[in-house]
Copies of this chain bind each other. A is one copy, B any other.
Amino acid sequence: MSATVDIVVIGRARTPWLRREDTPHQPVASPETEGTIEIDPEFAPALADLDTFGRIWLVFLFDRSRGWTARVKPPRGGPKRGLLATRAPDRPSGIGLTSVQVQEVDVGAGKVAVRGIDLLDETPILDIKPYLPMVDAWPEAGHGWLEEYLDAGIEPRLRKPYRPRRGG
């Protein structure tokens, strides 16, 4: 049996993405999509000063994922890859990571309006962190096994076209 830890949920995402199969694979695929992070009242005062940042990390739970396997078929094709060498949603931890642009922060209401969001509506938010280029931006890091698919201009294959229901 694996060890587990109890992690607090600090809020929820409200987005136009209602179905897993419609949701973009990363925020770059939905740069215009707007959403709101609703933070529980207990944690809302901790949002102070967040509006000084242009970009933030959302650490969230892939709450509609269904178990995991050690190797997964990537949406751009090719052989199966080790799960931890992908950003696939079905992971042991269930933890997701995405960066979004900050539009407006209402500390009193516990609301953060964001842009470029790729999360499903109602996704549980575990943490918000400021994006800090000095430690987070490594443009020359390389894309590993993905490089050849990016070079060839291959986009992820989706089961259904994007169809946001509201906003976006």
| Partner-binding segment picked from A14-22, A143-151, A160-168 | A143-151
Interface residue A104 (Cβ < 8 Å from any Cβ of B): no
- Asked if B133 and A138 sit within 8 Å, CB to CB, the answer is yes
Interface residue A153 (Cβ < 8 Å from any Cβ of B): no
**Interface size on A (CB < 8 Å)?**
72
- Asked if B135 and A137 sit within 8 Å, CB to CB, the answer is no
For chain A, what secondary structure do more than half of its interface residues adopt (helix, strand, loop), or is it mixed? mixed
- Asked if A142 and B82 sit within 8 Å, CB to CB, the answer is no
Alpha-carbon distance A151/B48, docked complex (angstroms): 22
Min Cβ gap A51→B in Å is 8
- Asked if A133 and B128 sit within 8 Å, CB to CB, the answer is no
* A interface, CB within 8 angstroms of B: 2-10, 26-28, 39-40, 42-43, 45-50, 52-55, 57, 59, 61, 63, 68, 70-71, 81-87, 91-95, 97-99, 107, 124, 126-146, 150
